[in-house]
Chain A
Amino acid sequence: MKVKSKVISIVSAALLLMGTAACSNDTASTDATKAKSSKGPVTFTYFGADPVPTWNNMQDEVGKEITKRTGVTLKASYQVGNDDKVGLIASSGQYPDLISPKGSAAKMVDAGAMVDLKPLIEKYAPNIKKLIGNNWGRLKYSNEDPKVYFIPTYDAVGQKQFDAGGGFELQHAAVKEAGYPQIKTLQDYENVIKQYVKKHPTVDGKPTVGMSLIGSDWHFLITVTNNATGATGKPDEGEYSIDPKTHKATFHSRLPEEKEYFKWLNHMNDIGLLDSQSFVQTYDQYLAKVASGRVVGLADQSWSYGSAENTLKGAGKDELTYGHYPVTLNDKYKRHDFQSIGFNAGWGIGITKNCKDPIRAIKFLDFLASDEGQILNYWGIKDKQYKVDNGKRVIPADVQEQKTKNNAEFTKKTGIGMYNISMRYGDGMKDSTGNYYTTNFPENVVKNYSKETKEVLSHYNAKTWKDLFPSEKEFPVLPWGAAWSINASSNTEYGAIFQKAEDTAKSYVTKAILAKPADFDKEWDNYLKALDAIGVKKMEAEYTKLVKARVELWSSK
């Protein structure tokens, strides 16, 4: 009996000791900078809110190289479907070591799950520090909680756009037949369509469509209301228009100048140039219509109709693909498509309290942010996926062919572009050797244009579509960045009003566009009344506060 009780007491003492040891470990890791860091191979768990279907457990070539250099292996899991996985992670307390929660960041921060990264970056991450530069203010979480919880990964530093993807689109054939006129206002745009439809009432036996929109689902925002903003000379701020001086936000589709745009759509519908299916068709039906080549004009973004355009290209109908024109309501307005938003921090990757070795984690992220890490991620492995000719990085033709032909397979095998999980430079930025960091550069844009596209552009003395638009140099950088990235919490009264305002706009603006021209003003008044009834002013006031807070935060150091 005695022996037995002795054994029990020893065991329980040992258990107690282990318990205290575990506890002291915990307290040590909360003060991240003081924790000891390991050297050997280590595995970090990672959760990403955006799925990466080509993820290969770091068994791809770039992944193996990263593990070789850093000793780190990532065990990644991703969001599947629409469920709120980040919310679950936040409430369960079982945080991964690294997390990229996208728009749900607040859930992690509210749960107290994130580690303040600023001291770690200052001490251990020179490359990230260099990339941040004087943008520290933009990395802060909020005015109330000015810590840095996330390293922005959704925007690249210095990223430049080389081509236009928005504006108003017209088929090359229509522009050619019209004799390459100046296309600056809605009237010019309408004339080109009108002439072409008159001349070619049918395409392959089916009626020609003047202009088609997709207003039945969320594309309503892209093809209907956003264009009202673009055509009236304002940058795209999501559902708001923000006064550059007072920072007052207005729900943009209720502005009087935008009414004029919708009135024009109403007129297009009246004369039969607007597709009568615009607000009824599904996205797939819209794409099918565009791919049939019988839609003369679009008011969409190339990422939205791109797959349909590719079908046209594949069928050799390059003359029926689209060009982008800087169309405005009248010549008083100037398109703001390229107004710079500066570095759009916000969404990104963070280290959680559960991470045993935050120093190692930040060093890992710092490696990815180094020139070496970025080139590995963007270009692959030297002499395998790229070569250096006379100091210039080039992709061999056979590699390029694999890359374009079967991109998913190529990415899975090589891992190129799959490690966008730290800060990095964007398109158009050059490293110390004078090479571009990314594989996208201006020369490539023109190279990928079809013969027809080049011909149309040559008549406007332009190299790319972007050249037709006012350049970013004409506008100041927006101090609040991209307004659509300001996270307004949705589970509040504000969120409910906002949702209602969107639904109201969808329903009433559509009705106004499809009304008889004589009834347009009446329908428009109904719309304004409905917005007032749901409390749009209250919502705008709330959002104005957020914009002001953002400006204050981002201008801080």
Chain B
Amino acid sequence: MKLKLLLILLITFSAQIISAQEGIISGTVNDGEFNDVLPFANILIKGTTKGTTSDFDGKYVLDVEPGTYTVTFSYLGYETKEISEVIVEPGAEQIIDITLNPLANALDEVVVTTTVSKNTEASVLNLQKNSVALLDGLSIQSIKKSGASDIASAIKSVPGVSVQGGKFVYVRGLGDRYTKSILNGVDVPGLDPDRNTLQLDIFPTNILDNIIVIKSATADQPADFTGGVVDIVTKDFPTRAEYSISTGLGYNSSMHFKDNYLNYDGSPTDALGFDNGQRDLAIPQNIETPLPVVDGNRSAALTRLLEPNLKALENQSGADFNIGFTAGNQYDLNEDGTKKIGYLASLTYKNSTDFYEDAVSGQVFRKQDQDKSVLELTDDRTQSGNIGVNNVLISGLAGISLKSLQSKYKLNVLHIQNGESGASYIRQDNFNVNSNTIFKDVLTYTQRSITNILLNGEHTNEDASWKVSWKVSPTFSKIYDKDLRTTPFRFEPETGNFTISPSESGDPSRIWRDLEEYNVASKLDLTRKHQLFGRDAKLKFGGAFTIKERDFVVNQFSTPIQSQAGNYSLNFEGNADLVLAPENIYDPETREGTYVRRDSNISDSFNSQITVGAGYVGDEFKLSDRFNAIVGVRFEKFDLRYSGENQDGEVFDNQTILDKADFFPSANFIYELNEEANKKIRASFSSTTARPSFKEASNAQIFDPVSSTFFIGNIDIQPTYINNYDIRFEAYGEGTNFFAISGFAKTFDDPIELTFIREARGQFIPLNLGDAKVFGAELEYRRNMGFIPGWENFNFNANISVIESQQTYSEDEEAARIDNLRTGETLDDTRQLQGQSPLLLNVGFDYSNNDNGWQGGIVYNVQGKTLEIVGNGDIPDVYTLPFHNLKMNLSKEFGKENSSKITLKFENIINDDIESVYQSFGAQDQIYSSRYPGQAISLGYSYQF
């Protein structure tokens, strides 16, 4: 099978080389009236008979001899555009995306003439400019400009977008509960089971067509988003044969080539993103572990089944590297080129190594309980240590598309394989609840995979007045935590002894967690062009159905140590690798040694199923020449069924937990303030929802040994309903010059938040809290620096979002806060919404010169102080402090047709660290967690042929 694929690749590759002498003009023709493509537009090389028409995707390709041309674009009832100075080089592709605007009077003939370079710049904003809904597009061109190699780093330049942990997108600072990421318009489960959003760093930019961030809802979008929807759209196929290879190296001075980096012996296939079975569940689920006193031989035999290496080993760390290939081509299936088949394949391998020295995590500081006039916090737990993480990510995408004049079919297969291996050695000092010092070796391995298939068809009729699009997309996702090993030793400074002391620090533990999820999303969209109020209008209607099912199983073991006269664990002398050494396994003769005990239980495991059925209708129409509107309503029926058992033995067997049927109205308006349509006002209203996750709407009681906390599911939890209001003024200037100011407000009914339980320390439950409000303002500015002579290639852009959130307290929280007020402190009526950033700022300055191939940019971004953990009585709130991230990138294209490119990037130039702190009235901040990400330099090379 693999051989066959390789063969096909080779054949297509050699076929291409032969015909490489002609050049290509290609692109997309857009409809200035609707935010849509313009099918069947005429494209002509001026002064020749050579021409073509755009297909129903608005796409066109013209094969031409090398030379300089003027190209005309025309369509009945629309202006004609002439683009001059189109230079086509042998074998090269010249991309011209163009927008044609309708004529007020169909009999007029208007010809707009421009040059190719001006047109290219302007086309970037076209999508955004013409959309009635509020959205921001990130075209592949601008991603390339930013030097980003994956979506996560590219998307930060979109206003109001922030990326958490380099992976998860937050729109307008709203936590990922309120942001949705979808792939090619359909829901795809992410690699993180506890998040609603897809992890973005797994997508290489070379498979992208564009990313669209939609901030205001329309009826054709899913209803379960609030901040925004991030739609990642992969390429169909290139307009000509395209093969590329890219490779990169990254060096971080505080992480790489360090001799004290921590790892452990894993399986030989770790480097390929999966475990070869070495970390498989050691003791099958149906095997009981007897007490050693009952059956010593069996207990010892079962204990020997566990992998004995428990120690985080010091080894030298490597650097980051990546390599990627893409291949794509299209072929005409008939003489006139109206039937085409094409493919796109990409394979990426990334290996990255992180090492955090003296990373601080999970520290506990408290307010003085005895005396409320004491403002300073006292330490209850300090915890720090070295953490080493190696991450391997392989992603493969293969797609085939078939296009005819009126139909398009696309089959895409995406597989992502990820393995993350971690080792850490942590010191923990407890002062209050316990009083001790603990050293922990922690070894982790998480293997994740997603396989997504997308089958998509689009059809149109002859005059393109009807358009039908359907999608079926199954996804299989697997996340396995394989053999997480924690070995805690208690250290007694007085004696210098290391002991395993279960009542102080717990027994050594082993955990396996399996999460399997399948998801089938399907949708049907129909578009009908019609007349309303004597003007063109577009009716959209359709439906969607998604089914998701998740299985979650936990297997957990401890390995306690049986002692007789003395304390047997003294023999280990603090060396974790001796705990399961053969000589220390339980000996039935002496009745001493380490034995295995099953700790897992049914309440950790569950099975859930979600179905969402949706139907919608919406109309995009004009109230006057300058006043556009989309008004629509969406209906969604949401069901969640759950099977599981809690610790009390309460059993749910495929029981319906949530059954909601709701209408979600939306209205978007855009008013052009002038004839040229370069000043606009937008206003929108929509109603959306945020639904609890699988885990939240359950009665599961899941213990997390890493944070030593219990997650308690809430079987009574209800979805949140949100009303969204947006208003925006936009001014488009020359080229990409742009200014926008927006205001928005959101009101939340019953927002869900993971909250503490006042009476149960270390236990958390998702609750519907009191109502919340979010208000914000956004400012966006892009300016070409050409007003300074000689600075034509420089661009400045900045965007800032200021957001105020107000969350009312739950009853428990309010009582706990009042009981723990310091002398002189008063309680505000509301607090920040958890995870809501009050400020987002991006400022960038870039240089781009197509003539000499140089590109460069410097970007600064920061996020305001954000409420990370809501305090619990005498434990104050934890805030994530701003991380001031200044980055620079520089690239140069060179060689024949600029086919080679070298990129150099610098990260964290300011040398900031990532820190969260406890903040309390009148007290000095105390660290909750802190990590130093180091300063990284990466060098990349890519070659396109």
User: Do A and B come together as binding partners?
Assistant: no
Residues on A close to B: CB < 8 A?
none
Residues on B close to A: CB < 8 A?
none
